[in-house]
Chains A and B, each alone.
Chain A
Amino acid sequence: MGAETIISAASAIALLLMCAAFFLTAFRVIRGPTLPDRIVALDMLVAIAIGFIAVLAIKTGFNLYIDIAIALGLVGFLATVAFARFVMRQGMEPGEEEPAPAAARQGRTGGKRRVRR
């Protein structure tokens, strides 16, 4: 069993696990009942993409991919911070949290200021 075999088997396992993780996270992005859920899931998607890039860097031997991963991490962090500022400014939309039927959830009213409990 050579070194090449070990690396290729490990990267295949890692790619498989990350594929499953990607689909689970995408499910949360689509389903996520609230906006912060989707923001967290998008942050997680960026992390998974960085993992994919690292595995590809090992598989193909192009070490330039690592720089791309660092740049993607920077962009993901900034995007999450911007989304958090957006949530802070805009506040919760009325009726966003109640497990309402799909018809009621579509008729959203925009422009409401934040609701304090």
Chain B
Amino acid sequence: MMDLVLALAVGAMLVAGGVFTFLAALGLVRLPDVYTRMHAASKAGTVGSGLMLFAAGIHALDVAIFTRALAGFVFFVLTAPVAAHLVAKAAHGAGYRLTRLTVIDDMREAERRDAKKR
């Protein structure tokens, strides 16, 4: 009985992780510019692989392995936004344009104001 519940939990996490990863890849292909693609990849992609790692930790039924898997999950959740933010800042600074559908670009206006002040 306990085995079955555990297997159901691990299986559900695996499938959910796969769906999240697939949706992230779909967003990477379908969205119009770098910044929106980054938004899909860094959020859904991290949750997808993190859920799978978590499932692997649960499946092992060992505290040491579960702790390691949890540490890996936390590490991904911490580093993915930092990496995405760095790439976005670098791309914006280098002058990669936003898509034509963009409504507002606060950073560009702030840079303009800074340039005027000097």
A residues sitting closer than 8 Å to B (CB atoms) are 2-4, 6-7, 9-11, 13-18, 20-22, 24-25, 27-28, 34, 36-37, 39-41, 43-44, 47-48, 50-51, 54-55, 57-58, 63, 65-67, 69-70, 73-74, 77, 80-81, 83-85, 87-88, 90-92, 97, 114-117
A6-B8, A13-B15, A24-B26 given; A70·B79 CB < 8 A: no
Q: How far is the CA of A82 from the CA of B86 in the complex (A)?
A: 10
- Which residues of chain A have C-beta atoms less than 8 A from B49's C-beta? 47-48, 50-51, 54
Which of A34, A44, A63, A92 interacts with B28 by CB under 8 Å? Answer: A44
- B48, A66: Cβ atoms under 8 Å? no
- Which residues of chain B have C-beta atoms less than 8 A from A28's C-beta? 28-29, 37
Q: Which residue of B lies closest to A13 (CB)?
A: B15
- B90, A36: Cβ atoms under 8 Å? yes
Shortest beta-carbon contacts, A-B, top 3: A10-B11, A17-B18, A3-B7
Inter-chain residue pair count (beta carbon < 8 A): 208
The prevalent SS among residues of A at the interface is helix
Q: How far is the CA of A74 from the CA of B42 in the complex (A)?
A: 15
- A10, B71: Cβ atoms under 8 Å? no
B residues sitting closer than 8 Å to A (CB atoms) are 3-4, 6-8, 10-12, 14-15, 17-19, 21-22, 24-26, 28-29, 34, 37-38, 41-42, 45-46, 48-49, 52-53, 55-57, 59-60, 62, 65, 68-69, 71-72, 75-76, 79-80, 82-84, 86-87, 89-91, 93-97, 108
